[in-house]
Amino acid sequence: SNTDGVGARALSIAILTASRTTEVLQARWDEISFHERSWTIPKERMKAGIEHRIPLSDQAIKIFRLLESHRMGDWIFPNRTNGHHLSNAGMSSVLKRMGRTDITVHGFRSSFRDYVAEKTSTPPRIAEAALAHKLKDRVEAAYQRSDLLDKRRTLMQTWANYCLEKPEKVVQLRA
């Protein structure tokens, strides 16, 4: 089916965590903590060069547990032919197979940001932290040392509930 396989699971995690394509594709098992219900991406793999902790929703945990039961190595989303991680085409090909040439993987990050702004009362700073964006205001950035994980945990669960309530809404949000 169009929505089975490692590429579809990677796309689901990208959407549920509002993460960038490469962050998801290069994810390794040692970055996931089921105990803390979080995914910690090391600074070397982050666009801003700062470690990023992502609180995992119930839905994301369920996907990671499913993938863990079929674990083949260090990569969460392995490319079964070459033993490396899934390629950049891994997720976009899922959208193509679904006939959704009108949307992109990265567009889900925009949909997440629109959702937060339009459908929640979440302060912009928390939404920006969820997207791992650097604060533009250097003074605020100097004082804002917390990654706001607890507040983002609630936000990410709310987002996951919204996504899985009626997935087509997420695709149309940015239309």
Q: Which residues are the active-site residues?
A: 20, 47, 106, 109, 133, 143
Phi, psi of 148 (to 5 degrees): 55, 35
Considering only CA atoms, which of 2, 45, 3 is closest in space to residue 21?
A: 45
Phi, psi of 38 (to 5 degrees): -145, 160
CA distances from residue 12 to 7, 142, 145 in whole angstroms, order as listed:
9, 34, 30
Q: Which amino acid is at 156?
A: M
